[in-house]
Amino acid sequence: MKRPDKKNIVIFASGSGSNAQRLLEHFERHPEIRVAALFSNNPKAYALQRAETYHVPALLFSRDEFYNSDKVLRQVQQFKPDLIVLAGFLWLVPQSLLHAFPDKIINIHPALLPRYGGKGMHGLNVHTAVVQAGDSESGITIHRINEEYDKGEFILQEYCPVHPEDTPEELAARVLQLEHKYLPLVVEKLLLEKDEL
């Protein structure tokens, strides 16, 4: 009997790509899911090298190509994505991509949305704001995306403590551990339509 094709993930990443790395590792030998490609807007993104290490196509695009042409859309379509994962991707996704892949694009955010979201709220900016607010708890939000930054239906939130003496960097490290643990599990759950993580 012919085996069904694997499901395809396409990753978008703008920076270091440690979350992309977790997906690359987790799905490297997965029987049902593969990382088909990684796209980046940043020529210096270490995420590009991580993809190449795993022999996954790494594609770079410019702002003009992303917002003023259908080049990126056509390239993404070639990989037949079942899910697109924004893993530290910092640009707003254009309508053309949203319409081509309704409900198939998810984002990971390093805080408990709806707080600490929106334009400019990424990386250390988020953790600095949480520490300055004196919150006792932070965490991650994995959510579907729509045409606004950090909005869209929540899929999962996980929590961690914020200690009074935490620096933003210390909090970032604690939150990143949660991201690395849960992102592959959520992707797997969505693609395999599992009830549990």
Give me the active site residues, please: 109
DSSP of 107-157? EEESS-TTTT-STT--HHHHHHHHHHHT-SEEEEEEEE--SSTT-S-EEEE
Kindly state the smallest distance separating residue 110's Cβ from ligand GAR, in Å: 4
CB 143, CB 47: distance < 8 Å: no
Binding site for ligand GAR (CB under 6 A): 13, 15-19, 87-88, 108-110, 122-123, 126, 176, 179
Kindly state the smallest distance separating residue 53's Cβ from ligand GAR, in Å: 15
Q: Return the residue nearest ligand GAR (CB atom).
A: 88
Residues, the chain, total? 197
Fill in the amino acid letter for 117: G
Kindly state the smallest distance separating residue 175's Cβ from ligand GAR, in Å: 7
